[in-house]
Chains A and B, each alone.
Chain A
Amino acid sequence: MKYALYPGCVMPTEQYAYELSIREVLPKLGVELVDLKGFSCCGGPLKSVNQMITLSLAARNIAIAEKEDLDIFAPCPICHLTLSEAKRILDSDPDMKERVNNYLKDEGLTYTGTSDIVHTVDLLHDVIGIDKIKKLVKTPLKDIKIASHYGCHTIRPSEIGRPDDSENPEKMDRILEVIGGKSEYYPEKLDCCGGLLNANLPESALTKTGQKLQRIQEQGFDLLVDVCPWGHRQFDAKQSKAGETVATKLEVPVFYLTQLLGLSFGISKEKLGLNLNLSPVEKISVGGK
């Protein structure tokens, strides 16, 4: 299995732990990650400004992977959505494809629609499969009660096809089960992380983060796991600040799914970038509390 790793903007500029753990864990599962030259912004942040630019940027990134005959692995749900949405539009609208390809001509690129786009959740659950993951587990996460957070774009909008179900996402929970964790339902499971409110309503953003973490803490979860660099930034880096909005001292360890997988595979904390997590991840020692 070979994928072009599409890093996006947040992961390589501040959420290094996600990238580190991906580069450790996926090769162990038989996935060769290829770095390609020339990837740009996915186009997502420009969508409210100019949709044509968004579409062209997304098509350009896909075309770079197509040139090397590679499928794309986009660990950021926003990148994944932007690229998937562009693919859906271009594959169903030949006129739009021609227009976009006109823009790409100067760089010698052409969008054809041959590359698949996957995210961490569907790559692990659907492509690699939980049986294969189970075989690699050395130190299971025994007796750890886990709250999972999927992030909005991992599951929505459902009509364009997302890595998991919009109302009842379960793939990440199944993965957590095979590595020994107890992933449990909680009523706030689908609640917003607040991340996308940062630009114009920073106070509200922190309140949303705080409310969700507070409820997770109250319900006795040992840790929170996520697969989105935006959500992780809120829950992990901004946790203590978010606690102020709900007048609570928050102490919820927050992990990337790939970090937990790595720990269960016996990979060292350092290689998985655990020293970069700002939440109290040291509370969790693999193999027991």
Chain B
Amino acid sequence: MGNRIGVFVCHCGINIAATVDVKKVAGYAKTLDNVVVAKDYKYMCSAGGAKLITESVNEYKLDSVVIACCSPRMHEHTFRGVVESAGVNAFNLEIANIREQCSWVHDDKARATEKAKILVRGAVSKARLLEPLQTSKIKVNSNALVVGAGIAGIQSALDLAEEGHKVYLVEKNPSIGGRMAQLDKTFPTLDCSGCILTPKMMEAAKHPNIELLTYSEVVSVEGSIGNYSVKVKKKARFVDMDKCTGCGDCVAACRLKGRISNEFDEGIGKRSAIYLPFPQAVPLKCVIDKNHCLMLTLGKCGTGPLCVDACEANAIDFKQKDEEVEIKVGAIVVATGYDLLDPTSLYEYGYAHSKDVITTMQMERLISTSGPTGGEILRPSNGEKPKSITYILCVGSRDETQCTWCCRIGCMSALKHAYLLKEKLGDNVELNICYTDIRSFGKGYEEFYHKIRGMNTNFFRGRPSEVHVSPDKITVDIFDTTTSKLFEIDTDLVVLVPAIVPRADADNLARILHISQGADGFFLEAHPKLRPVDTTTGGVFIAGCCQGPKDIQDSVAQASAAAARAANILSKKELESEPMISVVDEDLCSGCGTCISVCPYNAIEKVEGEGGKMLAKVNEALCMGCGACVASCPSGAMQQRGYKDKQMIPMIDEETS
């Protein structure tokens, strides 16, 4: 009884053949029950290998195939296509991984060959019991969701909208634009950041296929590839979007004008309780900060709210409530960006002790003409022009006690500032740059670095041991490793270039979207080289700094890539669903519901069966085949197609005997 099996052993060049005697393995396979043919070949995944498999299937009338090769993650998909075109059901294929799990991790050829034989024996025992499986078709919703409307999110949304898909662009802040909107100029071309970003923001706002959901957050995601159902919370602005003209009269009238730290200016500037996020905000609508507004915190504002008096459009509505909307999409692009490490915890750099120790982002706001000083570079402590400015790179980056990774933009942003500061303050300003290595890897970056080096700047290679903050001066201690000398730099303003870290709420979003994070907390791509914008969850893609630190160029490239990958799904009418999902044996199921509680996809429900018996029922469109229910089922009623107990147990027995 059982299938007629063919075994095909791959050399993988020398990847397998150098450590495993592939001919011996093929010879051994021939001796196993039900195996009617066993062959080896140099590259089984090549056209020649496919031909060999196809010919063997026809010649020996095979109905099950075992391929001993690399991990199924690499080529299972390829080989399913090969056996299917040869006339065998695509799921009557079993892979014995003798590369990652054997040849690559061993060096004793004799013992590795024995192990490969055991792995093949196990695969053959399962192949005897494989059953043909059928895929089903699921309809695809052609809408897309883009989470995060920084430059990456905007780019993805525009690309998808241009392809004809309806795009919901969700942004948690009151305006789209993200980090790039805060920047003055971009490196290395010194393009005005606003000048190149604002047209994109306007385009996204006006595009007939894009629906902006600003000041909104994703709260839940259900469903699977092709059919996601997403709940989005629209936070109350307390301003009627239809009525508000963005004139700013209310902002000027607010009783708390100039009293609240402005997040867009990184805490250097002040704003009112009702505010426009920034002059080029899209949408250009006011929003009330409910944590500060006197009406919303105390219930009264002097003799009456001044903003209401000032607003000619009658747009202010203190009764507005958060509201939740549900949207249906086929694919999701996540582009939620990054946070900067708060340097307060790095006490040695004095950020906690002096106003004149600032971050690059704060300096960016000082340089910007729309910033709190109108583009004048002034010391936050006393409003005077600094005569000496010292940059400290890699603050928390490439540091085993903080973030082990490189932020990839710190060097270039400091070099950019050096250029802009010389332009603003004149060549006499002393500029000191304390660096670990200058990483100017991008196109035109090295040339920019050379330009700055040729200017009147001081470069110190090393990490300052301490920034001493006295009332009268700031001193930076640095051991310069190029001259092996200790320098004590007296300076007026210290700029820290902090590490790029995942968003504070990245863990929560990863949980909502069922996507993975790396050890560093950034969202994890499905494959670092070959699937850089995919996640392991079908239909969810990542772009920009939520995947890891990168500059604008790379973020935009990745955003377009993610949009293209999402469009692959959205442009199809139907998708084939994986047949390897759970099924219930109704005779064994007692309706206990344990499986329902462990299912992460809400794919199981309790239904009434024949004679009033309660049973678990799997929704085939929602089941992702994770197997959690199978492992939890106390009676063995829950089985996963392609991985049934009766298929797995003989395999385990063979491999452990």
Bound together, the chains give a CA A150 to CA B145 distance in angstroms of 55
Q: Is B110 an interface residue (CB 8 A)?
A: no
- In contact, B347 and A167 (Cβ under 8 angstroms): yes
Interface residues on B, range: 10 to 19
Task: Point out the residues of chain A lying under 8 angstroms from B401, CB to CB.
Answer: 158
- Return the CB mask of B419-447 against A: 1 if under 8 Å, else 0: 00000000000000000000000000000
- In contact, A187 and B347 (Cβ under 8 angstroms): no
Interface centre among B346, B347, B469 (most CB of A within 10 A): B347
- In contact, B466 and A185 (Cβ under 8 angstroms): no
Task: Point out the residues of chain B lying under 8 angstroms from A168, CB to CB.
Answer: 347
- In contact, A185 and B346 (Cβ under 8 angstroms): no
Bound together, the chains give a CA A96 to CA B475 distance in angstroms of 45
Q: Which residue of A lies closest to B468 (CB)?
A: A187
- In contact, B468 and A185 (Cβ under 8 angstroms): no
Bound together, the chains give a CA A219 to CA B470 distance in angstroms of 9
Contact pick for A185, options B348, B353, B475, CB 8 Å: B353
- In contact, A187 and B469 (Cβ under 8 angstroms): yes
Q: Is the interface of B mostly helix, strand, loop or mixed?
A: mixed
Bound together, the chains give a CA A168 to CA B353 distance in angstroms of 12
Bound together, the chains give a CA A243 to CA B527 distance in angstroms of 64
- Return the CB mask of A136-158 against B: 1 if under 8 Å, else 0: 00000000000000000000001
Contact pick for B468, options A158, A167, A188, CB 8 Å: A188
Q: Is A190 an interface residue (CB 8 A)?
A: yes
Given A167-B346, A167-B347, A167-B348, residue A190 in contact with residue B353 (CB < 8 A): no
Task: Point out the residues of chain B lying under 8 angstroms from A219, CB to CB.
Answer: 470
Instruction: Output the least CB separation between B478 and chain A (Å).
Output: 15
Task: Point out the residues of chain A lying under 8 angstroms from B346, CB to CB.
Answer: 167
Q: Which residue of A lies closest to B400 (CB)?
A: A159
Bound together, the chains give a CA A110 to CA B412 distance in angstroms of 58
Bound together, the chains give a CA A219 to CA B468 distance in angstroms of 14
- Return the CB mask of B308-349 against A: 1 if under 8 Å, else 0: 000000000000000000000000000000000000001110
Bound together, the chains give a CA A158 to CA B401 distance in angstroms of 10
Task: Point out the residues of chain B lying under 8 angstroms from A187, CB to CB.
Answer: 350, 353, 468-470, 475
Q: Which residue of B lies closest to A188 (CB)?
A: B468
Task: Point out the residues of chain A lying under 8 angstroms from B353, CB to CB.
Answer: 185, 187
Q: Which of B489-535 contact A (CB under 8 A)?
A: none
Bound together, the chains give a CA A188 to CA B477 distance in angstroms of 12
Instruction: Output the least CB separation between B399 and chain A (Å).
Output: 12
Task: Point out the residues of chain B lying under 8 angstroms from A185, CB to CB.
Answer: 353
Q: Which residue of A lies closest to B475 (CB)?
A: A187
Task: Point out the residues of chain A lying under 8 angstroms from B468, CB to CB.
Answer: 187-188
Q: Which of A158-188 contact B (CB under 8 A)?
A: 158, 165, 167-168, 185, 187-188
Q: Which residue of B lies closest to A168 (CB)?
A: B347
- Return the CB mask of A254-282 against B: 1 if under 8 Å, else 0: 00000000000000000000000000000
Bound together, the chains give a CA A253 to CA B466 distance in angstroms of 27
Instruction: Output the least CB separation between A172 and chain B (Å).
Output: 15
Bound together, the chains give a CA A190 to CA B347 distance in angstroms of 11
Interface centre among A158, A185, A187 (most CB of B within 10 A): A187
- Return the CB mask of B394-417 against A: 1 if under 8 Å, else 0: 000000010000000000000000
Instruction: Output the least CB separation between B404 and chain A (Å).
Output: 15
Bound together, the chains give a CA A264 to CA B78 distance in angstroms of 80
Bound together, the chains give a CA A190 to CA B475 distance in angstroms of 14
Instruction: Output the least CB separation between A145 and chain B (Å).
Output: 14
Bound together, the chains give a CA A185 to CA B350 distance in angstroms of 11
- Return the CB mask of A177-204 against B: 1 if under 8 Å, else 0: 0000000010110100000000000000
Q: Which residue of A lies closest to B466 (CB)?
A: A190
Bound together, the chains give a CA A59 to CA B350 distance in angstroms of 40
Instruction: Output the least CB separation between B498 and chain A (Å).
Output: 16
Interface centre among A158, A168, A219 (most CB of B within 10 A): A168
Instruction: Output the least CB separation between A149 and chain B (Å).
Output: 15
Instruction: Output the least CB separation between A101 and chain B (Å).
Output: 33
Q: Which residue of A lies closest to B465 (CB)?
A: A190
Bound together, the chains give a CA A165 to CA B176 distance in angstroms of 41
Bound together, the chains give a CA A188 to CA B346 distance in angstroms of 16
Instruction: Output the least CB separation between B196 and chain A (Å).
Output: 40
Bound together, the chains give a CA A219 to CA B471 distance in angstroms of 9
Q: Which residue of B lies closest to A158 (CB)?
A: B401
Bound together, the chains give a CA A187 to CA B350 distance in angstroms of 9
Instruction: Output the least CB separation between A192 and chain B (Å).
Output: 11
Task: Point out the residues of chain A lying under 8 angstroms from B348, CB to CB.
Answer: 167, 190
Task: Point out the residues of chain B lying under 8 angstroms from A188, CB to CB.
Answer: 468
Bound together, the chains give a CA A188 to CA B401 distance in angstroms of 23
Bound together, the chains give a CA A118 to CA B353 distance in angstroms of 30
Bound together, the chains give a CA A86 to CA B449 distance in angstroms of 48
Bound together, the chains give a CA A143 to CA B468 distance in angstroms of 25
- Return the CB mask of B467-482 against A: 1 if under 8 Å, else 0: 0111000010000000
Instruction: Output the least CB separation between B273 and chain A (Å).
Output: 33
Bound together, the chains give a CA A185 to CA B348 distance in angstroms of 13
Bound together, the chains give a CA A187 to CA B475 distance in angstroms of 9
Task: Point out the residues of chain B lying under 8 angstroms from A165, CB to CB.
Answer: 347
Bound together, the chains give a CA A256 to CA B348 distance in angstroms of 25
Bound together, the chains give a CA A158 to CA B346 distance in angstroms of 14
Bound together, the chains give a CA A188 to CA B466 distance in angstroms of 10
Task: Point out the residues of chain A lying under 8 angstroms from B350, CB to CB.
Answer: 187
Instruction: Output the least CB separation between A137 and chain B (Å).
Output: 29
Task: Point out the residues of chain A lying under 8 angstroms from B470, CB to CB.
Answer: 187, 219
Instruction: Output the least CB separation between A186 and chain B (Å).
Output: 8
Instruction: Output the least CB separation between A204 and chain B (Å).
Output: 13
Task: Point out the residues of chain B lying under 8 angstroms from A190, CB to CB.
Answer: 348, 466
Bound together, the chains give a CA A256 to CA B577 distance in angstroms of 75
Instruction: Output the least CB separation between B120 and chain A (Å).
Output: 42
Bound together, the chains give a CA A187 to CA B469 distance in angstroms of 5
Instruction: Output the least CB separation between A201 and chain B (Å).
Output: 15
Q: Which residue of B lies closest to A185 (CB)?
A: B353
Bound together, the chains give a CA A190 to CA B468 distance in angstroms of 10
- Return the CB mask of B349-385 against A: 1 if under 8 Å, else 0: 0100100000000000000000000000000000000
Q: Which residue of A lies closest to B473 (CB)?
A: A187
Instruction: Output the least CB separation between A220 and chain B (Å).
Output: 11
A sample of 6 inter-chain contacts (CB < 8 A) reads: A165-B347, A168-B347, A185-B353, A187-B468, A187-B470, A187-B475
B contacts, CB < 8 Å to A: 346-348, 350, 353, 401, 466, 468-470, 475
Q: A158-B401, A187-B470 are in contact. List 10 more A-B contacts (CB 8 A).
A: A167-B346, A167-B348, A168-B347, A185-B353, A187-B353, A187-B468, A187-B475, A188-B468, A190-B348, A219-B470
Q: Which 10 A-B pairs have the closest CB atoms?
A: A187-B468, A168-B347, A167-B347, A167-B348, A187-B470, A187-B469, A185-B353, A190-B466, A188-B468, A167-B346
